[in-house]
């Protein structure tokens, strides 16, 4: 029988079923919408063919290739077999008879050497190379076995030399067989073995270092011939490595023999070895295809030739002439430029070798040139202590004189002559003309000390050198702009040739003149007349050179420097005090200011002004050293007058700030001389001009900020006065400061100026706090201990309750201050 629930229960069940159906329907509708969207997106792309194969996955890239794996396996196999053969020869050799030994090793060697031919026929080149290497190793084991069995009494060194020669021949013959010629290993291996015979035979024959060096160089020559004649790349690379290696060892040994040679015969033998090495290098350079390699080999050949000839000459000449001998040999290499049969690369290489020799010779001269330049500085500590006996004593002072320095001028002169002759070439003329100045100048600089001429003659020689350098700089003048018309024939003739235009040479000559004047000035410090005479001469010389516009940027500052030194020397010679000598020195900055205003060349104006400013420093230093404060104030004030005169020029308006600073310093020093300790006496003279300048700037540019216009002037007085008021026990200073700060605050508020308002208000508040501090301390001591925390709590509650209002007040204050200037 069917059970029917009560109506109420049935109604509840029906409502439940309908609710489940609504939920399911919503899920299906959501799924349907998603499917429709997916189908619309897929319809925009072409549908893949159902017969298309699936996309293959990307195969991982192998970390190594199959040929590499094969080569590694073959090399490892060959190494293992070689190790096994060695172990057999060393360990199991004694268990077999002579016939068995010969049969095993000979058969194994022949079999292994024959196997690569069959492997090459099958196209297994890598396997054939590996097996060929094993066969070559077995031939070495055969030679070892032969020595151990039959030739144990033979000298080991000679036996190794013979075996290496035999193995080199056997391996070369094996590599040249019709079928085995395809192998790449035998011929390079034969060449490696060929490196040993000559050297080892020389050692076995108890040859000296000369014989061993000859064997090394002969081996290098054989390698060079192989590298030049054999077209196989592997053989050429091996031959080049052997040639460079054996040649380097041979050249080093030959150079050592040449340097340590004690007589002409030993030096000649070493020279023969070096010339043989040079011949090898020249031959290789002559036939070298690559120009870069040919140039390097030619340089090496040139240096070896110089070492050979110079070493021979050194053995018969005094020790002082060693460097000139090598230098002459290096200069002789330049004759190769005239030999047309030599390739261009070889000629260029020989020229570079000559340049290298000359450069090394110049490096040898540097110690003496440095002493000639820097040695006279020692007279700064011995001013007017007495005239030395000669220039060498004056130059060295306490420094030691270099050994064998007598030929330094010869070396410098030879290099200068070479450069002068090179200046005939139109291409190298600018560089050569610049270069010839330096060695010629160095020759003139060191020659008086080398010849030990009298002191006065040495000063005259240095003065002539300085004048000559300035004359050269004046002669090498800047060329004018070419005109449209062609130059006349008379102007183009050699007799009417105008001064050349080489900016680098002109600059070099000017620098050399300045450098020469420095040791001349220091050398003159030995005696009072010499100092005054030399400084006068230098001042006049550089002043005359300053009339040349292209020299003025360098010579005009030098004139001012030597004029300042002359003023100091004059004051000292007259017995004046430092403070009075400072007044004489101030004539130099004044003259510099007048000269800078009259110069038309902008390039010389700034150097003259800088030199004048630097010349004022000794004046201030001399005045300060005297401890005479009124004179220090006078010197500072005169410096301020000079800078104020410079500031009159429209392009030097900013110098007025320096002038104001100097006047302020002079005022302060004068106040200190009067023992005035009130800070306002020092700050008010600064604040008043600063405020006037700020007001003038605000009048010209109303947009200028009040911090820029009035901030420095107000802070210069208010801050020091506030610090003084806080430590002042009296009431007068705090009262006056408070009144001034109140006035400044009111002025700032009335004119809407931010700097006076904030500075005056801050100083007023701090000043009032200082005055109320004792009373606040008394009230704090009288209150109970719980009152301060209670007041702090009430303050925090008030701030929290009115937080939003305080924020609005702060924003209004910020906007108010922001609208002010």
Q: Tell me the three-class secondary structure of 449-486, residue by residue.
A: HHHCCEHHHHHHHHHHHHHHHHHHHHHCCCCCCCCCCC
pLDDT digit string, tens, across residues 104-158: 666 777 777 787 877 777 777 777 887 888 888 888 888 887 777 777 778 889 9
Confidence of residue 480 (pLDDT cuts 50, 70, 90): very low
Listing DSSP states for 667-710 in one string gives HHHHHHHTT---HHHHHHHHHHHHHHHHHHHHHH-TTS-HHHHT
Q: How far apart are CA 705 and CA 799, in angstroms?
A: 34
Q: Higher pLDDT residue, 718 or 455?
A: 455
Cβ atoms 655, 592 nearer than 8 A: no
Q: Is 741 left (phi over 0), alpha (psi -120 to 50) or beta?
A: alpha
Cβ atoms 468, 510 nearer than 8 A: no
Q: How far apart are CA 702 and CA 695, in angstroms?
A: 10
pLDDT for residue 241: 94
pLDDT for residue 55: 44
- The single-letter DSSP state of residue 3 is -
Q: How far apart are CA 219 and CA 198, in angstroms?
A: 7
For residue 159, give the 3-state DSSP assignment: helix
Confidence of residue 477 (pLDDT cuts 50, 70, 90): low
For residue 571, give both structure tokens: 């004051």
pLDDT for residue 764: 85
Q: How far apart are CA 640 and CA 634, in angstroms?
A: 10
Q: Higher pLDDT residue, 185 or 601?
A: 185
How many residues are listed for the chain in this entry? 821
Q: Tally the C-alpha atoms within 13 A of residue 650's C-alpha that lie toward its C-beta.
A: 0
Q: How far apart are CA 457 and CA 440, in angstroms?
A: 19
Which residue in this structure is represented by tokens 């150079």? 255
For residue 232, give both structure tokens: 């196989």
pLDDT digit string, tens, across residues 405-443: 899 999 999 999 998 887 566 666 777 778 889 999 999
Distance of CA 518 to the CA centre of its chain: 28
pLDDT for residue 253: 95
Cβ-count burial of 238 within 10 angstroms (0-12 exposed, 13-18 middle, 19+ buried)? buried
Q: How far apart are CA 666 and CA 630, in angstroms?
A: 9
pLDDT for residue 59: 44
Q: Which residues of 361-398 are buried (b: 16+ CB within 10 A; e: fewer)?
A: bbebbebbbebbbebbebbeeeebeeebebbbebbbbe
pLDDT for residue 490: 40
For residue 596, give both structure tokens: 């800078």
Q: Determine what percent of the chain is predicted with pLDDT higher than 70.
A: 81
For residue 78, give both structure tokens: 């060959």
Q: How far apart are CA 101 and CA 88, in angstroms?
A: 10
pLDDT for residue 760: 84
Cβ atoms 239, 280 nearer than 8 A: no
For residue 494, give the 3-state DSSP assignment: helix
Q: Does pLDDT of 492 surpass 50?
A: no
pLDDT for residue 183: 84
For residue 770, give both structure tokens: 């200082």
Q: How far apart are CA 299 and CA 378, in angstroms?
A: 43
- The single-letter DSSP state of residue 518 is H
Q: How far apart are CA 42 and CA 34, in angstroms?
A: 12
Tell me how many degrees the CA angle 275-276-278 measures, rounded to the nearest 5: 60
Confidence of residue 505 (pLDDT cuts 50, 70, 90): confident
Confidence of residue 46 (pLDDT cuts 50, 70, 90): low
For residue 334, give both structure tokens: 């330049």
pLDDT for residue 115: 79
Q: Does pLDDT of 174 surpass 60?
A: yes
Confidence of residue 22 (pLDDT cuts 50, 70, 90): confident
Q: Does pLDDT of 251 surpass 90?
A: yes
Helices (H), 315-375: 322-332, 344-374
Distance, first Cα to last Cα, the chain: 104
Average pLDDT over residues 674-678: 78
For residue 390, give the 3-state DSSP assignment: strand
pLDDT for residue 817: 57
pLDDT digit string, tens, across residues 595-634: 888 876 678 889 999 999 999 999 999 999 888 888 998 9
Average pLDDT over residues 744-767: 83
pLDDT digit string, tens, across residues 552-571: 999 999 999 999 999 999 99
Q: How far apart are CA 254 and CA 308, in angstroms?
A: 9
Contacts 24+ apart (CB under 8 A), 577-581: 577/626, 578/622, 578/623, 578/625, 578/626, 579/622, 579/623, 579/626, 579/628, 579/631, 579/632, 579/635, 580/631, 581/622
pLDDT for residue 279: 93
H or E segment and range at residue 53: none
Confidence of residue 322 (pLDDT cuts 50, 70, 90): very high
How many CB atoms within 10 Å of residue 210?
A: 17
Q: How far apart are CA 192 and CA 311, in angstroms?
A: 33
pLDDT for residue 415: 94
Distances (CA, A) of 482 to 121, 399, 486, 487, 677: 79, 53, 9, 9, 69
Question: What is the chain's mean pLDDT, rounded?
Answer: 82
Q: Does pLDDT of 781 surpass 70?
A: no
Q: Does pLDDT of 1 surpass 90?
A: no
Strand partners, 390: 454
Listing DSSP states for 29-50 in one string gives HHHHHHHHHHHHHHHTSPPPPT
Q: Determine what percent of the chain is predicted with pLDDT higher than 90.
A: 37
Cβ atoms 78, 108 nearer than 8 A: no
Q: How far apart are CA 98 and CA 149, in angstroms?
A: 8
């Amino acid at each position: 029988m069917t059970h029917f629930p009560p109506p109420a229960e049935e109604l509840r069940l029906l409502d439940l079923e309908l609710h489940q159906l609504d939920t399911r329907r919503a899920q299906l509708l959501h799924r349907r919408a998603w499917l429709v969207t997916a189908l619309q997106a897929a319809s925009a792309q072409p549908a893949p063919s159902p017969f298309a194969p699936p996309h293959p996955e990307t195969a991982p890239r192998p970390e190594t290739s199959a040929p590499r794996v094969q080569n590694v396996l073959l090399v490892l196999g060959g190494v293992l077999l070689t190790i096994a053969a060695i172990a057999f020869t060393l360990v199991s050799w004694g268990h077999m008879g002579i016939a068995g030994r010969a049969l095993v090793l000979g058969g194994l060697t022949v079999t292994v050497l024959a196997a690569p031919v069959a492997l090459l026929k099958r196209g297994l080149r890598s396997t054939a190379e590996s097996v060929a290497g094993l066969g070559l190793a077995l031939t070495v084991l055969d030679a070892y076995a032969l020595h151990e069995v039959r030739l144990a009494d033979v000298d080991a060194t000679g036996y190794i030399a013979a075996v290496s020669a035999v193995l080199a021949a056997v391996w070369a013959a094996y590599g040249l067989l019709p079928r085995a010629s395809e192998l790449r290993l035998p011929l390079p291996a034969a060449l490696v073995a060929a490196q040993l015979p000559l050297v080892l035979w020389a050692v076995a024959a108890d040859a000296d270092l000369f014989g061993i060096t000859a064997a090394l160089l002969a081996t290098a020559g054989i390698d060079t011939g192989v590298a030049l004649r054999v077209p196989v790349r592997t053989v050429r690379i091996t031959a080049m490595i052997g040639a460079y290696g054996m040649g380097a060892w041979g050249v080093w040994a030959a150079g050592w023999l040449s340097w340590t040679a004690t007589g002409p015969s030993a030096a000649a033998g070493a020279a023969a070895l070096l010339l043989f090495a040079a011949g090898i290098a020249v031959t290789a350079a002559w036939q070298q295809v690559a120009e870069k390699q040919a140039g390097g080999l030619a340089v090496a050949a040139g240096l070896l030739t110089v070492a050979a000839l110079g070493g021979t000459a050194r053995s018969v000449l005094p020790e002082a002439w060693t460097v000139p001998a090598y230098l002459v040999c290096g200069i002789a290499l330049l004759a190769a430029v005239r030999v047309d049969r030599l390739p261009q690369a070889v000629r260029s290489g020989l020229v570079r070798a000559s340049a290298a020799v000359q450069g090394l010779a110049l490096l040898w001269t540097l110690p003496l040139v440095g002493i000639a330049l820097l040695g006279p500085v020692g007279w700064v500590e011995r001013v007017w202590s007495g005239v030395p006996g000669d220039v060498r004593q004056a130059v060295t002072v306490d420094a030691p004189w270099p050994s064998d320095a007598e030929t330094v001028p010869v070396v410098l002169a030879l290099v200068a002559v070479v450069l002068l002759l090179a200046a005939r070439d139109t291409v190298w003329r600018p560089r050569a003309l610049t270069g010839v100045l330096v060695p010629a100048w160095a020759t003139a600089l060191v020659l008086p000390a080398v010849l030990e001429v009298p002191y006065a003659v040495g000063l005259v020689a240095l003065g002539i050198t300085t004048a000559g350098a300035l004359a050269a700089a004046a002669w090498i003048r800047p060329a004018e702009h070419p005109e449209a018309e062609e130059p006349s024939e008379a102007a183009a003739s050699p007799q009417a040739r105008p001064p050349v235009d080489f900016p680098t040479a002109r600059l070099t000559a000017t620098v050399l003149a300045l450098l020469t004047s420095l040791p001349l000035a220091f050398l003159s410090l030995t005696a009072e007349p010499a100092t005054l005479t030399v400084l006068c001469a230098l001042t006049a010389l550089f002043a005359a050179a300053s009339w040349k516009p292209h020299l003025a940027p360098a010579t005009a500052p030098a004139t001012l420097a030597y004029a300042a030194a002359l003023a100091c020397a004059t004051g000292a010679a007259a017995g004046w005090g430092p403070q009075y000598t400072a007044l004489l020195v101030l004539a130099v900055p004044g003259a510099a200011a007048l000269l800078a205003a009259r110069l038309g060349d902008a390039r010389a104006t700034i150097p003259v002004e800088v030199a004048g400013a630097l010349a004022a420093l000794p004046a201030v230093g001399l005045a300060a050293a005297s401890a005479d404060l009124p004179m220090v104030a006078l010197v500072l004030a005169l410096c301020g007058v000079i800078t104020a005169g410079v500031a009159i020029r429209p392009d030097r308006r900013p110098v007025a700030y320096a002038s104001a600073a100097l006047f302020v310093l002079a005022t302060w020093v004068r106040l200190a001389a009067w023992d005035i300790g009130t800070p306002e006496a020092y700050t008010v003279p600064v604040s008043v001009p600063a405020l006037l300048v700020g007001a003038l700037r605000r009048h010209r540019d109303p947009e200028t900020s009040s911090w820029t216009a009035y901030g420095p002037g107000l802070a210069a007085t208010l801050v020091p006065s506030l610090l003084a008021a806080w430590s002042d026990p009296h009431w007068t200073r705090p009262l006056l400061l408070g009144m001034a700060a109140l006035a400044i605050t009111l002025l700032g508020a009335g004119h809407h100026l931010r700097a006076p308002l904030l500075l005056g208000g801050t100083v007023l508040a701090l000043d009032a706090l200082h005055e109320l501090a004792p009373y606040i301390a008394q009230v704090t001591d009288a209150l109970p201990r719980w009152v301060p925390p209670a007041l702090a709590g009430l303050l925090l509650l008030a701030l929290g309750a009115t937080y939003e209002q305080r924020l609005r007040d702060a924003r209004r204050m910020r906007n108010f201050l922001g609208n002010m200037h």
